Chain A
Amino acid sequence: MIATILDIITTAAILYIVASGLLLVFGVMKLINFAHGGLMTLGGYAAVIATAIGVNPWIGIPLAAIFGAIVGLGMERIVVRSLYNRPLDAILATWGLSIIIGQIITLVFDRGVHFAEPPIRGVVSLLGESYSTYRLVLTVLALLLGLGLTLILKGTSLGLSTRAVIMNEDLARGLGINSGLVRTVTFTLGSGLAAVAGALITPLSSVYPDMGTAWLISAFMLVLVSGSSLYSLAIASVVLGGAQVIVSGYFGAVLGGMTIAALAAVILRIRPQGFSYE
């Protein structure tokens, strides 16, 4: 029982970390970044590189952030910028970018599975249950991430501009907000977050050129049911992640793998705005 609850909480935390970058991009740009999976893969390989050169495994995370941000900035400048008015085409183009990232990774490394050194090993005893320390650390990181993003959005002038663009882009532009800059910064930040998420999940999954795709679908569905709110994303992560844990427990991991997608589709059919309360 305790183990299941801990599983639900930590799964929700992981989903929150994985989906927050996508949500940021979707909220500000009304654009679905299908390169999110590719960027996660990139982050996973940053952790692999950190292991390969023998530095502290934690270094892999800032390294992933740098990789993701640079690649994201380039993608926004070259490709995404011209697709703001074509949201469905943007899905396809970013998927194409994901293929490109995956192929370049395959060329540099190979198609095989790689492993990154986990930053923390072992278990701790919690409520009479010995539980993976790393999963608990991820939960703390997810809370910090949510808090940090909220502070940026609420506490800085860039955050204010971003919220203005989310609410009414035309008006924001009319008031002199450089919405192009807001978009660039958001996309770069979102890409960096995707790569960080990719690096953070390496201790839980092996690293291979297609590792991001499965996560992409879960993240995408979570974002759709959350609208553009970080709070709704937290609720959606707990509800859908919890459902995944329970279905996996009773019916096996294979059916658990489709729980989030199937459940989110049904939720959106019944309530198109999903978990957002607007």
Chain B
Amino acid sequence: MSDVNLKEWSQARHLRPRASPLMRMLVVATIALIGVGVTPFFIDAYSVNVLVRSMIYASIALSVDILWGYLGVLTFGQSAFFAAGAYVTALIFTYQGFSAELAFAALVIGIAVAVAMAGLVAFLAFWHGATDLYASVITLVLPIVVTQLLFSGGTFTGSSSGLTGFETVPLSIEAWFWVVGAWLVILTSAAWLYTRSDAGQLLVAIRENEQRCQYLGLNTSNIKAVIFLICASIGAIAGWMYANYTMVVAPEIAGFVFGTELLIWVALGGRGTLFGPVIGTLIIDYASAHLQGDFPFIWKLVIGVIFVSVIVALPRGLLPVASSSLNWLRSLVIKAQPKERTPMQLRQASERSSTAANEGGGAALVVSGVEKRFGSLKVLSGIDFEATYGEIVSLVGPNGAGKTTLMTCIADGLKRSGGTISVAGVDIGHRPPNQCVRLGVGRKFQMANVFDTLTVGECLQIARARLDGLSKWHKSGICNLPQSALHIIRATGLDNDLDVPAQVLSHGKKQALELAMVLALEPKVILLDEPTAGLTKAERTLIGTILTELAKTEQLCILLVEHDLDFVREISSRVIVLHQGRIVLNGSVDEVVNSELVKSVYAGSGH
């Protein structure tokens, strides 16, 4: 498809204009603020009182939703940050008395303490190789440690009875309602903008496929840590409000049980929806306050039963169910309109000065003495070879020869057991995958490894995140790609599928998309693990042609693992044969094809 067609196609999608998401958000937020403003005049004082607390809880539930619903970090520990904000405030007011300056200081110190705690948790929980379960475990340990510390604080922290009787910010209940309500609306709007922006899609990408993000050069551990720190601050602010408003703090607010209660509210409302957890918390906490007096145990039992049912039957929570039934009702009245999405525009990225072609002399990839052991088992030993720019080197060998392991060692400096690897003249040392990408390594996995729930356009944007950054407040609708990636997108017809979720693509298109994502990194060395596996003859020829062109025009160094020897013969400039973890042959295509050794290796008797 030509650029002209592409433009026409995107214009056709522009024909029916609608309010931009930002405008709609502003309208909804304004209505919500007006609602907050007038509510205290229409409901009784007890309900106002309860709702202030419910809204404080809702703001912290929102932070749990960002972590769990978007980023995929199941956290039991938000309560600890809430307690940090609340206890710092209570301690300052108890021991220093109240003043406006001290109230402000309490807010700042509370946030600082929470951020420091969150920093420690993030250091323990988010590192290259840590599992989701481990991160959850650390967030579970945090509230337990904090609770025990509060208990052991003796009279200073009030031990099990907590602190009470301190003077706080002198606001009426209605004024607190307005302050907390406005904060909740602003916070929810900001979170909504962020999660709908390009950067917000990155959170989903990390949840869906953290490994792919790392191999796209993104330091996912850092991104998780930053979001975690922000959410800890939100928790501390909520804690500050809580201490000021209720004038009581007790160790229970730090505990694992409260941390889990937050999860229950988020799960019932609908994780990953922002509004669901906020509305869910408001309704459940408000209803609890009214029902708990009359039916204290039954009410908690009912919540427990609903919670288990929702987790089992409606994992996305109640808000999606409510909104889809609302849409269904609307569709009965109004004729359904196709869902409008901002069409993605692909643009050519400006040339970077340090592209491979400018490197001139020197090898693109130098592998020397590389070893890989799993315990006593040697998978690779004494691997030495070089590859230069513009070369297509194929790695062949029977299954288990160590081809994929070698690829992994080149793309992740932490994996090899011995030897050195340099990319474009720089030793990769013990760099994790995201830093190897910085040096110029791009890796395509054997199984197409894309972000299933994101659209094709969004996948490409994430691939460019390292070089171009991502907008934090809106969907830019623009993706800059280098010529090579654009070429693949157009040649395979993916430019018609930019708004399609990647999971519905055919196998061949998924492979092409992943290749385009790797090329979007503007790598110097690309590692392709069986790029043609499962493709049709036509698709295979297309990929082969593209790879040959890429090596020639972009001066890329391409390292290819392949079982299809015909394909290898057609495109390779050199072939390396691996057998039982060693290089047995490194030569031209003809040398390898005519080698007796290679025949015997493939026949299974070579030693």
**B-contacting residues of A (Cβ < 8 Å)?**
32, 79, 82-83, 86-89, 91-93, 95-97, 99-100, 103-104, 106-107, 213, 217, 220-221, 224, 252, 254-255, 257-258, 261-262, 264-266, 268-269, 272
Contact = CB atoms under 8 A, between A and B. Distances in A.
25 contacts: A79-B308, A87-B133, A88-B133, A88-B136, A92-B263, A95-B260, A96-B304, A97-B304, A97-B308, A99-B301, A100-B301, A100-B304, A103-B298, A103-B300, A213-B256, A213-B257, A217-B144, A217-B256, A220-B140, A261-B144, A261-B145, A262-B141, A266-B124, A268-B137, A272-B129
A258 B140 CA distance: 12
Interface in B287-318: 297-298, 300-301, 303-305, 307-308, 311-312, 315
A99 B312 contact: no
Given A97-B308, A254-B152, A272-B134, A265 B141 contact: yes
B148 interface: yes
A268 B125 CA distance: 10
Contacts of B141: 221, 261-262, 264-265
A105 to B, nearest CB: 10
A107 B257 contact: no
B312 A258 contact: no
A167 B450 CA distance: 29
B308 A107 contact: no
Question: For the side of the interface on B, what is the size category?
Answer: 35 or more
Q: Report which residue of A93, A106, A265 has the largest number of chain B beta carbons within 10 angstroms of its beta carbon.
A: A265
A224 B74 contact: no
Given A103-B300, A107-B298, A224 B124 contact: no
Contacts of A261: 140-141, 144-145
Interface string B76-110: 00000000000000000000000000000000000
A258 B134 contact: no
A263 to B, nearest CB: 10
Interface in B106-156: 124, 129-134, 136-138, 140-141, 144-145, 148-149, 151-152
Contact of A258 (B148, B260, B315): B148
A107 B152 contact: no
Contacts of A262: 141, 145
A107 B304 CA distance: 14
Contacts of A217: 140, 144, 256
Given A86-B315, A221-B137, A265 B124 contact: yes
Interface string B545-570: 00000000000000000000000000
A89 B311 contact: yes
Nearest to A252: B152
Given A99-B300, A221-B137, A258-B145, A91 B74 contact: yes
B144 A83 contact: no
Nearest to A97: B308
A212 B152 CA distance: 22
Given A99-B304, A217-B256, A272-B129, 20 more contacts: A32-B133, A83-B312, A87-B133, A92-B263, A92-B307, A93-B312, A95-B260, A96-B304, A96-B308, A96-B311, A97-B308, A99-B303, A100-B301, A213-B257, A220-B137, A220-B140, A221-B137, A261-B145, A265-B141, A269-B124
A249 to B, nearest CB: 15
Contacts of A224: 133, 137
Interface in B159-193: none
A258 B149 CA distance: 9
Q: Report which residue of B264, B301, B305 has the largest number of chain A beta carbons within 10 angstroms of its beta carbon.
A: B301
Nearest to B124: A269
A272 B125 CA distance: 12
A92 to B, nearest CB: 5
Contacts of A96: 264, 304-305, 307-308, 311
A187 to B, nearest CB: 15
A263 B132 CA distance: 19
Q: Report which residue of A100, A252, A272 has the largest number of chain B beta carbons within 10 angstroms of its beta carbon.
A: A100
Interface string B268-300: 000000000000000000000000000001101
A95 B136 CA distance: 14
Contact of B307 (A99, A268, A269): A99
B152 A93 contact: no
Nearest to B302: A103
Interface string B307-334: 1100110010000000000000000000
Contacts of B502: none
A92 B144 contact: no
B225 interface: no
B489 interface: no
Nearest to A100: B304
Contacts of A100: 301, 304-305, 308
A82 B313 CA distance: 9
B366 interface: no
A97 to B, nearest CB: 6
Give the top 5 A-B pairs by smallest Cβ distance, nearest first: A99-B304, A103-B301, A96-B308, A258-B148, A254-B152
B421 interface: no
Contacts of B130: 272
A93 to B, nearest CB: 4
B223 to A, nearest CB: 20
B486 interface: no
Given A96-B307, A100-B301, A88 B138 contact: no
A255 B133 contact: no
Contact of A255 (B148, B297, B301, B303): B148
Contacts of A86: 315
Nearest to A209: B297
A218 to B, nearest CB: 10
